[in-house]
Structure 1
Amino acid sequence: MSTLIRFSLPLPPSVNQQYATVNGRRVLSRAARAWRAEARLALSGLELPPALQATLRHGYVALFLDVYFATPLRRDLDGGLKITLDAICEALGVDDRRVVDIHLLKRIDPLRPRIEVELEALANWQFDETRPVL
């Protein structure tokens, strides 16, 4: 059994704009912190059914991300993956180690860059039985 939710997020800053060096340490940039706050606000309005909440706590997660860029070749598809994954998991109270499947698709929308997310909570995910978990 699985449960799906769909939502949209703003397009995060490019990977080159996500980090800054402060006193010799790499930290999230001002742009990245602002984006995370915007994503948190967008996700705060989600109403999760109790069954989905339970599956997210004890099951696994698959993400299907349609990333809409303003132009086809200016940015890498995977440049915003980590910050997006972290924001989604943090907002939903999910340990991001429970993400077992990610699909990324690059699309173009010059007027409305964004990420369309389909999150599937997987209650019955199984790892390859031929390899023991250590």
Structure 2
Amino acid sequence: MPTFQRPPRIPSSPRAVRVTSYRNPDKKIAMPRLAQRMAPISRMPPPTPHRPTENHAVALTLPVPPSVNHQYATVNGRRLMSSAGRAYKAQVGQLVWLKLAQSTHRASLLAQLQSEWLALSIRFYFTSALRRDVDGGLKIAQDALCEGLGINDNRIVETHLYKHIDKDNPRIEVQLTPTIPKTT
């Protein structure tokens, strides 16, 4: 039986790389010297002891994300975001900016979301109870929401997922609020 041998790979020209930065370009960051630092510095800000108010929450109704099987594609042995996944992230980004444009307190809201620990609550409304898993749309919805807001998703320390049935209007309802993380 003959065996297949892959031809040697020829280096191609450099490709453009998409870079996403969660840093505000106008804000100057002071870098501490390593010799002066005595205790390890946390990259996350200490939580503030106030309870979140309605002014500091983002609540959106978004379309149901593509299933996990449709979010990624394998190209040349690499897993990449599919066109359906990229289109969903772009659509969510536009909806986020439309919602922020309608908000009268968007500057304080963005400042709070970029400096606090966050809690994410997603209510999935599917057409059928058995067709989709509740956690299948978590990652892409979380990534799209955080990318649209310009925040890093490592700030989310609490996640709540709920599954409901709505045959006429499938959607997800997302709420992102500042929170105080529980210590054990």
Quickly name the TM-score band, shorter chain normalised.
0.7 to 0.9
In structure 2, the residue matched to 1:24 is: 77
Secondary structure at 1:78 match in 2 = coil
| Residue aligned with 1:111, SS | coil
In structure 2, the residue matched to 1:39 is: 92
Contact 1:52 1:121 in 2 (8 A): no
Alignment-mate amino acid for residue 178 of structure 2: A
Q: Secondary structure at the match of 1:112?
A: coil
Q: Higher RCO, 1 or 2 (CA under 8 Å, sep at least 6)?
A: 1
Matched, 1:4 2:57: yes
In the alignment, what sits opposite 1:87? Answer: 144
Q: Which amino acid aligns with 1:54?
A: A
Question: What root-mean-square deviation, in Å, do the aligned CA atoms of Structure 1 and Structure 2 show?
Answer: 1.4
After superposing on structure 2, the runs of 4+ consecutive aligned residues of structure 1 that deviate more than 4 Å are none
Q: Distance in 1 between matches of 2:173 and 2:141?
A: 11
Cα deviation, 1:50-93, whole Å, max 9, x if unaligned, reads 22211111111111111010111111000010000000001111
**What's 2:122 paired with?**
65
| Length-normalised TM-score, structure 2 | 0.65
Q: TM-score, normalised by structure 1?
A: 0.88
- Gapped runs of 5+ residues in structure 1? none
Paired amino acid for 1:13:
P
Aligned residue pairs: how many?
A: 127
Q: Give the distance between the partners of 1:37 and 1:14, measured in 2 at CA.
A: 16
- The residue identity in structure 2 corresponding to 1:116 is E
Q: Note the residue ranges of structure 2 that are not aligned, 5 or more in a row.
A: 1-49
Structure with the bigger percentage of helix:
1
Contact 2:157 2:181 in 1 (8 A): no
Greater strand fraction, Structure 1 or Structure 2:
1
Asked whether 1:114 is paired with 2:171, we answer: yes
User: Between the two proteins, what is the percent identity of the paired residues?
Assistant: 46
Residue in 2 aligned with 1:74?
131
Q: What is the aligned partner in structure 1 of residue 20 from structure 2?
A: none
